[in-house]
Amino acid sequence: MAILSKEQDYFKTIVGWYGNCESGDCEDFDLSNHKNDILSVLQWSETGYLRPWKSTSPDRFNRFSKLECGKLYYITLQKGDGTIDIPNLTISTYEKSNIGMLVSACDPTPTPVILPTSTPTPMCECDLSGSKFTTVKTTNKTAVFNSHTFSFVSDVEASFETNNFTSANGSMVMLFNSSNEYIGTITFTQVKPINCKFVIKIAKQCYSGFANSSTSDGDNYRIQLSLDRELGENCEGLPTPTPLSADPTPTPQPQKLEFRWHSVQGREILQVKNILKPTNSNFAGRDTFSTWSTLYGFVADSSFYSLDHATWPDASVNTNYESVHNITSFDGLNFSFGEAENSNGVDYIQLKLNGHISNKTEFLPKVNVSTPCDLFIFAGDNNDPNNSATLDNSAWPVIAKQLEATPTPKPTSDCSPETHTTFHAPAKGETYAYTYTYPDTGKVTTFFTVQGFTNGKVAIDVSLPNNWSENSLATKYYVYLPEGNIIGTVQKMLINQSNMFYYMSSEKCYYGELTGSSTRIDLKEKDGYVAPDACCESNSLKLQVSGGKTSSAVDTITVQADPLGSMDGTLCWPEIGGYTTAQQYNVKFEDAPSDRSTIVINVQNNVSNVKFRYEHKSGSCFEGYLISTGTSTFKKI
């Protein structure tokens, strides 16, 4: 039996053999029931690797949990008063003489003794067993390794598990010893640790701890390390660190500020990330590194506010920010920093907006704010900082992109695109059918029908791309004006590039799409449309040309044109009288819309001194007279 006494000022370490013949049967000793008295217990594997038990580690991380009979242990007690009784433990010390010989089994006669165990050779290295570690030694308290920054209060050897990292924007690990004294900070770029063990050697002491979910705050970690071992007196240690105050405030390497524009309530608002977390308890749950914060200006004297303000804390960074990162600018905005301040032990400098260097940004609401302007964040955004902003506080305006002025639609007399063909609406109560004749078979098919749209024109795409087809069961649509009045019906059997439909009254242009399961199409009015001068409205007689021909004669007149439809349109004229012999007139057009612009007008009537007009499907209007010799020319009006 061994009664071990704890010491008030240091961690006492002993070497002992567990298991003897003094108390009969030897039973295992459960360490988990004695964490207040025992700091750590060490034993070694056959290959020489250390196997530790630590009172400060969760049970799932310890390699064993009991003292087992017949084994040697290296035990470190907690600091403090009192004793702990460990049955079956025999202690070996420098001062003791031979305490017995090691035997394989207990025999009551004679009383067995145990072979004394000499104190093992002191360990001079920290335990880096069981995984692959990377070790970085600091010089003058700092080091940079693979763009990662190590900043400590004294020179250390910092080791971490090499493969336990994942991709991230970056991360920061703040380390404290077992007495909650700040040791240092490691700032990682583009990665963060995942269940990663850290081992820190300071002077002749080894500490360890884990970066995991219980020590993380987003991508940042605060780890209180446990003392693993005291290195021997003859070991070469690192310089003894300068004693620290009980709870110093570290100055970690700052992460670079990030900015973005984010849409809130329909406006693009300026937000920031990687600023210091406010020290007021209202912001205990606010993560200013992994989430975004909306920035606010202030229209009055801001000297009353600080990083500790309960509602409007300063948007701030560490005082060493400018020594690590360049002066910040973003999308035409320049920023600077104020004088060094201190709040609740945190040294910081406040972010300022130098001014709007372009006319693309503004304060919202639009108020007068002097620049450089101190910037703040708002407690009212705590619940959802990524998507929150107050846009109507005239004392605390946000920074927003200016709205782009909505351009005034350019007036145009083009109601439909050039790909569409324009047709005069049929007479009241009649149906107009646009037909097509297959050139190889002579079969005639109907591409679309139109009824209604009295005193107007319609435009439909009747072009024939390589992949065109037809659907004889196409939906018949009932077309309504924006006011809710039905204006006509359309059924399009041709399947080609566009189902857009246009209707032109004497003053307005409307459009809609012939698609969907509903049979109702509600037209919309086209902005910026200016009705052209009427071409055929004043003439009482009209003849529609489709597919290069007319379907029937009007007042003995028919027309032949390009069979590809390039000159399709409407021929119109006033009433004439007096039949005569059949005549054929060739007509060309000034500034013709097609290379194949000549048409032939067949007449069996007296057309001398009759002015004809021709409205091309593009909307162009031509007029002229038919002459009996040569080619007649219609001029564009």
In a domain, 123, yes or no: no
Write out the E strands in 162-298: 165-176, 182-193, 196-202, 205-211, 216-217, 220-224, 226-230, 258-264, 267-273, 293-294
- Candidates 432, 636, 415, 416; CA nearest to 543 is 432
Report residue 629's pLDDT band, with 50, 70 and 90 as the boundaries. confident
Confidence (pLDDT) at 115: 46
Q: Are residues 285 and 333 in the same domain?
A: yes
Alpha-carbon torsion, ordered 77, 80, 81, 84, to 10 deg: -20
- Round to whole Å and give the CA distance between 348 and 337: 10
Closest alpha carbon to 261 in 270, 249, 253, 252: 270
Among 90-94, 419-423, 463-467, 531-535, the minimum mean pLDDT is found in 531-535
Q: How confident is the model at residue 615 (pLDDT cuts 50, 70, 90)?
A: confident
Contact assessment for residue 77 and residue 4, using Cβ atoms and an 8 Å cutoff: yes
Residues 268-319 have pLDDT tens digits of 999 999 999 999 999 999 999 999 999 999 999 898 999 999 999 999 998 8
Decide if 150 contacts 186 (C-beta within 8 A).
Answer: yes
* Tokens describing residue 51: 């196997």
Percent of the chain residues topping a pLDDT of 70: 90
The partner residues of 600 in beta bridges, in order of sequence, read 560, 586
pLDDT bin (cut points 50, 70, 90) of residue 4 is confident
**pLDDT bracket for residue 107 (50, 70, 90):** low
CB 136 within 8 A of CB 143: yes
Is 126 inside a domain boundary?
Answer: no
Domain assignment present for 219: yes
Minimum mean pLDDT range among 194-208, 342-356, 419-433, 449-463? 419-433
Confidence grade of residue 253 (pLDDT, cut at 50, 70, 90): low
Which of the four pLDDT bands, split at 50, 70 and 90, describes residue 246?
very low
Q: How sure is the predictor about 238, in pLDDT bands with cuts at 50, 70 and 90?
A: low
pLDDT exceeds 80 at position 233? no
Does 586 fall in a domain?
yes
Say how many CA atoms lie within 13 Å of 62 toward its Cβ.
20
Q: What is the pLDDT of residues 133-176, one digit of tens each?
A: 999 999 888 888 888 889 998 899 999 998 888 888 788 899 99
Planar angle of CA 506, 508, 510, nearest 5 degrees: 125
Residue 266 and residue 388 in one domain:
yes
Name the residue with tokens 């990083």: 307
Question: Does residue 143 share a domain with residue 186?
Answer: yes
Same domain, 590 and 624: yes
Same domain, 367 and 441: no
C-alpha dist (Å) from residue 196 to 21, 103, 188: 43, 43, 13
| In a shared domain, residues 395 and 330 | yes
**Contact call for residues 567 and 616 (beta carbons, < 8 A):** yes
Please say whether the beta carbons of 605 and 556 come within 8 A: yes
Average pLDDT of the residues of the chain: 85
- Is residue 604 within a helix (H) or strand (E), and if so which, with residue range? none
- 564, 580, 594: which is closest to 628 by C-alpha? 580
Considering the domain boundaries, does residue 386 fall inside one? yes
Q: What whole-number distance in Å separates Cα of residue 560 and Cα of residue 25? A: 121
Cα–Cα nearest to 20, from 93, 100, 120, 76: 100
Distance between CA atoms of 631 and 262, rounded to whole angstroms? 67
Q: Under a CB-based contact definition with an 8 Å cutoff, are residues 299 and 394 in contact?
A: yes
**Among candidate residues 92, 124, 157, the one where a domain is terminated:** 92
Alpha carbon separation from 469 to 95, 447, 472 (Å, rounded): 106, 10, 10
What are the tens digits of pLDDT across the range 573-609? Answer: 888 777 778 889 999 998 877 777 889 999 988 888 8
User: Does residue 220 sit within a domain?
Assistant: yes
Query: 474: which residues sit within 8 A by CB, 6+ positions away?
Result: 491, 492, 493
Residue 416 has pLDDT above 80, yes or no: yes
pLDDT-based confidence at residue 564 (cuts at 50, 70, 90): confident
pLDDT by residue (tens digit) across 541-554? 888 888 888 888 88
Asked if residue 73 belongs to a domain, the reply is yes
The per-residue b/e assignment along 134-165, b for 16 or more CB within 10 angstroms, e otherwise, is eebebeeeebeeeebbbbbbbbbbbbbbeebb
User: Which residue's structure tokens are 């039996």?
Assistant: 1
Owner of token pair 């902005």: 527
pLDDT of residue 358: 59
pLDDT at 109: 52
Q: Where do we find the tokens 């027309």?
A: 559
The string of pLDDT tens digits covering residues 349-377 is: 999 998 765 578 899 998 888 889 999 99
Rounded CA-CA distance 449/438 in Å is 18
* Claim to verify: residue 589 and residue 475 sit in the same structural domain: no
Task: Look at 59-63, 227-231, 387-391 and tell me which has the smallest mean pLDDT.
Answer: 59-63
Question: Has residue 111 got a pLDDT over 60?
Answer: no
Are both 224 and 271 inside the same structural domain?
Answer: no
Same domain assignment for residues 517 and 546 = no
In a domain, 406, yes or no: no
Alpha carbons 189 and 26: distance in angstroms, whole number? 54
Co-location of 290 and 348 in the same domain? yes
**Domain endpoint, select from 401, 432, 462:** 401
Residues 9 and 77 in one domain: yes
- Same domain (yes/no): 271, 397: yes
* pLDDT(201) > 70: yes
Q: What is the pLDDT of residue 245?
A: 40
Q: How many domains does the chain have?
A: 5
Expressed as residue numbers, the domain containing 210 is 133-230
Asked if residues 400 and 359 have their Cβ atoms less than 8 Å apart, the reply is: no
pLDDT at 250: 43
Q: Tokens 């620049």 identify what position?
A: 371
Per-residue model confidence as pLDDT tens digits over 474-524: 999 999 999 999 999 999 999 998 999 999 887 889 999 998 888 999 999
DSSP string over 478-495: EEE-TTS-EEEEEEE-EE
User: What are residue 18's phi and psi, to 5 degrees?
Assistant: -100, 125
The domain boundary residue, chosen from 493, 525, 557: 525
- Rounded to whole angstroms, the Cα distance separating 289 from 307 reads 15
Mean pLDDT, to the nearest integer, of 25-29?
83
